[in-house]
Amino acid sequence: MFKKSCVGVFLLFLFLAASLQAQVKVLYSFADSSSPFESPILKGSTLYGMTRWGGAASYGTIYKIQTNGTGFKILHVFAGGTTDGRVAYGSLVSGGSTSPRLYGMTEYGGVNNNGTIFKIQTNGTGFQVLHSFAGGAADGRNPSGSLIRIGSTLYGMTPGGGVSNRGTIFKIQTNGTGFEVLHSFAGGATEGGTPMGSLKAMSSTLYGMTFGEGAYGSGTIFKIQTNGTGFKLLCSFGANAADGTDPEGSLILMNSTLYGMTLNGGAGNHGTVFKIKTDGTGYVLLHSFAAGTTDGASPYGSLKAIGSALYGMTIGGGTAGLGTIFKINTNGTQFMLLHSFLNDGTDGQEPFGSLIASVSTFYGVTSGGGAYGDYNKGTIFSFKKQ
């Protein structure tokens, strides 16, 4: 009887594991070495995104695809040079629910080969470089995150450039006018440096993170007003041995609490999930990733909040060590792996970026894997909410 019970439990475990794996559906597998590094955005029933590589010169592309996996189309192939960008790193941002415009950044290309801000219509026409980063004391360089839009103003960050070459926060109008560096990071204990990800806005306040420096050399959380005043460091990562370090993604905001992840740090140095109040108090470590088959490792992107649950992805850990999708409550309880990426021909590997949500489905990308198998090709996938 005991042996039969054990067999039954084992079979139930296999059934549940298979059921979880079956929730992910690959909508599109990239055939060339495209390697999408950030999530697409959703407008109606269409996903719009970018690839880091791929295209005629392997400088990256802008694409669209329907949420059911049909209608994949390349909207723009980055060509580099002085009039185009190359190597797209972040996500696109919409000009609004009824606007046909999309905005984004490239890490390189433009007049100075220090990266660009661009706009394009959702049908692929009207591509225009709005700003070529110049680097130096008066400008940023090589953006590796995403823009946010507040009305007709775009805000973003660069990890390099500025007065101390520690990165910048900038704004620009959607028509390309009014570019202004709002803040140049000075590095060190009181400023931080190398800002990554995108900003998060609440009213006239912007929140963000730096990958490096701060009081313990492991990154920071900061806030600043949209007019460039009131810069304040809210938190320096690395104060404790089990603290998170090196945040690569972005913050999300719920009420007066910010939630985020760090790439490294935590009890096993595999990354963390944390929360902190917008005034800088109440920092709480919600989860330390443990890697292995039952946990993720190295979260790169941002969280997605649905009710009292947070959803996210890691680029490592899981059954095959190729990344995971997870869920955790906002109070840190009930952590659960929802999917382990396998790169078995029907799945991708190493998901970068964040999940985006419709009513019942998440969408995301993996930087490798898919029908063509290679680590640097990648997929676009859907995942039913759990």
Tell me if 13 is assigned to some domain: no
From the list 305, 349, 297, the residue with the least C-alpha distance to 327 is 305
Give me the residues paired with residue 244 across strands.
265
Tell me if 127 is assigned to some domain: no
Which residue has 């949420």 as its token pair? Answer: 67
Number of domains composing the chain: 1
Q: What DSSP assignment string belongs to 105-122?
A: EEEEESTTSS-EEEEEET
What angle (nearest 5°) sits at the alpha carbon of residue 154, between those of residues 131 and 181?
65
Tell me if 187 is assigned to some domain: no
Tell me if 37 is assigned to some domain: no
pLDDT digits (tens, 9 = 90+) for 179-192: 999 999 999 999 99
**pTM of the predicted model, to two decimals?**
0.93
Span 334-353, average pLDDT: 93
Which residue has 């005034």 as its token pair? Answer: 279
| SS3 assignment, position 9 | helix
Which domain range does residue 358 map to? Answer: 289-386
pLDDT for 242 beyond 80? yes
Exposed (0-12), middle (13-18) or buried (19+): which is 281, by Cβ within 10 Å? exposed
Tell me if 202 is assigned to some domain: no
Cβ(201)–Cβ(251) below 8 Å: no
Q: What DSSP assignment string belongs to 254-302?
A: ETTEEEEEESEETTTTS-EEEEEETTS---EEEEE---STTSEE---S-
pLDDT for 331 beyond 80? yes
How would residue 151 be classed by pLDDT, with cut points 50, 70 and 90? very high
Tell me if 191 is assigned to some domain: no
| SS3 assignment, position 318 | coil
Tell me if 363 is assigned to some domain: yes
Q: What pLDDT score was predicted for residue 12? A: 37
Tell me if 8 is assigned to some domain: no
pLDDT digits (tens, 9 = 90+) for 26-65: 999 998 888 898 899 999 999 999 999 999 999 999 999 9
Distances in Å between the alpha carbon of 131 and those of 126, 142, 173, 198, 384? 15, 12, 10, 18, 38
